């Protein structure tokens, strides 16, 4: 599900602020650069507001953000809806006891970690990242939360690359995006 461009006038402004960078980080990849979105206070605020409006009344107690661009969008949402913010990080960044989830990339593997005790069983959680591509990272994030006993209500991203079919990797969990990029 994505925000209906025809209904919400803010979407167009948001989309126009996202810059596409060819051949980064590897040749053939069209990188969706959200840093230009962050340079426009109105567009950035609209982005966050669209998520807040959606999740405010959903009894969500946890917003989990994926390092590092999920750290930019997750906390403002968490603050506005009164949820805690849980950073999901690359290995060895979080101090103390963690649980780890390994996942497969196009070239090799990666790993995501979450603090033990950050999330309690039956908490309702939202996972936030700037973008969903193949869905591997989001899938790992969801797994971490579910292993801790939380219920992942939805995944939320600014951008989706629908051609990479990441939506199908989310074990049937709903995905909400503001912008699709083909």
The label of the residue with tokens 């949402």 reads 77
Tell me if 84 contacts another protein by CB under 8 A: yes
> Counting contacts by CB under 8 A, is residue 31 touching another protein?
yes
Catalytic residue among 53, 106, 120, 168: 106
Q: How far apart are CA 150 and CA 21, in angstroms?
A: 36
In whole angstroms, what is the distance from residue 90 CA to residue 29 CA? Answer: 22
* Position 71 contacts another protein (CB under 8 A): yes
Distances 51 to 56, 71, 158 between C-alpha atoms, Å: 8, 14, 9
- Does 69 qualify as catalytic in the annotation? yes
Cβ–Cβ under 8 Å, residues 150 and 125: yes
The residue among 34 and 177 lying less far from another protein, judged by its C-beta, is 34
Q: Are 175 and 158 in contact (CB under 8 A)?
A: no
Interface positions, 105-144, toward another protein (CB under 8 A)? 115, 118
Instruction: Say how far apart CA 135 and CA 142 lie, in whole Å.
Output: 10
Q: Is 151 in the site for another protein (CB under 8 A)?
A: no
Binder among 60, 83, 128, 145 for another protein (CB under 8 A): 83
Active site residue 106: yes
Q: Residue 45 or residue 147: which is nearer to another protein going by CB?
A: 45
In the bound state with another protein, the residue whose beta carbon lies nearer, of 71 and 167, is 71
Q: Which residues are catalytic?
A: 69, 106
């Amino acid at each position: 599900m994505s925000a209906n461009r025809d209904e919400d006038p803010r979407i167009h402004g948001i989309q126009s602020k996202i810059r596409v960078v060819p051949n980064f980080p590897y040749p053939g990849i069209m990188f969706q650069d959200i840093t230009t979105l962050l340079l426009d206070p109105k567009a950035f605020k609209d982005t966050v507001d669209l998520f807040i409006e959606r999740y405010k009344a959903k009894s969500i107690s946890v917003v989990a953000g994926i390092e590092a661009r999920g750290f930019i969008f997750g906390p403002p949402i968490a603050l506005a809806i009164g949820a805690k913010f849980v950073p999901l990080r690359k290995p060895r960044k979080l101090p103390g006891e963690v649980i780890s989830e390994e996942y497969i990339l196009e070239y090799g593997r990666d790993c995501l970690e979450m603090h033990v005790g950050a999330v309690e069983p039956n908490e309702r959680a939202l996972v936030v990242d700037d973008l969903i591509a193949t869905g591997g990272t989001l899938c790992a994030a969801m797994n971490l939360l579910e292993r801790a006993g939380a219920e992942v209500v939805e995944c939320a991203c600014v951008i989706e690359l629908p051609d990479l079919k990441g939506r199908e990797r989310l074990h049937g969990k709903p995905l909400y995006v503001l912008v699709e990029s083909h």
